Amino acid sequence: MECTRCPRLAAFIAENKVKFPAFFNAPVPPFGDPQARLLIVGLAPGLKGANQTGRPFTKDYAGDLLYPTLIKYGWANGEYKADPHDGLQLAGALITNAVRCVPPQNKVTPQEIRTCNSYLQATIQKLTELKVILSLGAVSHSAVLTAFGLKKSAYPFGHGAVHDLPRGIVLIDSYHCSRYNTNTGVLTTEMFENVFDKIKTFF
């Protein structure tokens, strides 16, 4: 898939096709169960993570916490080896990002988030069995609200916060499982698992 709707991101991908020709270097599609009851929304692919592998959170540091947690709570089967060919399968869950193309310096712009939101909206609409959306970070949280056409002021982001959305869907927030957040103690494994304990109460 090629996309040129965000010129800065398209140019960055074009640069990386030259620098890293073996990388995926394209918008990263969702990964997981098309009949998902749980949708996990991150921020954007990492340069040498999902942009390299073509699978969200794969070879990203954040995947080292996310995928083992999904396995522990029964949302994934197999073993996570930071390789899109590791045979890992999601069970009842789907993972995507607010922005599907890798951004320079890991920073997306508000305009890029808005431009990519139609893809997030389409993903949500296709999930007829969806019950819970887990937003990893405030940017993801905001993008989900935009996809539903909701006012952000009515749904403040907070780790562990729970919000009722249309269609009977629940939005649950977590701090992003990034290297920075886990290294600084902003997010611990226990805190992350507490969010999954909360998710479990809706099934």
Q: What is the CATH number of the domain that holds 38?
A: 3.40.470.10
Q: How confident is residue 2, by pLDDT bands cut at 50, 70 and 90?
A: confident
For residue 31, tell me if it sits in a domain. yes
pLDDT of 52 above 70: yes
Q: How confident is residue 29, by pLDDT bands cut at 50, 70 and 90?
A: very high
For residue 20, tell me if it sits in a domain. yes
For residue 2, tell me if it sits in a domain. no
Is the CB of residue 135 less than 8 Å from the CB of residue 172?
yes
Average pLDDT over residues 79-93: 96
Average pLDDT over residues 57-72: 96
Domain range enclosing 56: 7-200
Give bridge partners of residue 13 from the DSSP assignment.
none
What is d(CA 38, CA 95) in angstroms, rounded to the nearest whole number? 9
For residue 55, tell me if it sits in a domain. yes
Percent of the chain whose pLDDT exceeds 90: 96
Which pTM does this prediction carry? 0.96
pLDDT of 1 above 70: no
For residue 172, tell me if it sits in a domain. yes
Number of domains in the chain: 1
Q: Which residues of 150-182 are buried (b: 16+ CB within 10 A; e: fewer)?
A: beeeebebebebebebeeebbbbbbbbbbeebb
Average pLDDT over residues 30-52: 97
Q: How confident is residue 56, by pLDDT bands cut at 50, 70 and 90?
A: very high
Average pLDDT over residues 104-108: 93
For residue 1, tell me if it sits in a domain. no
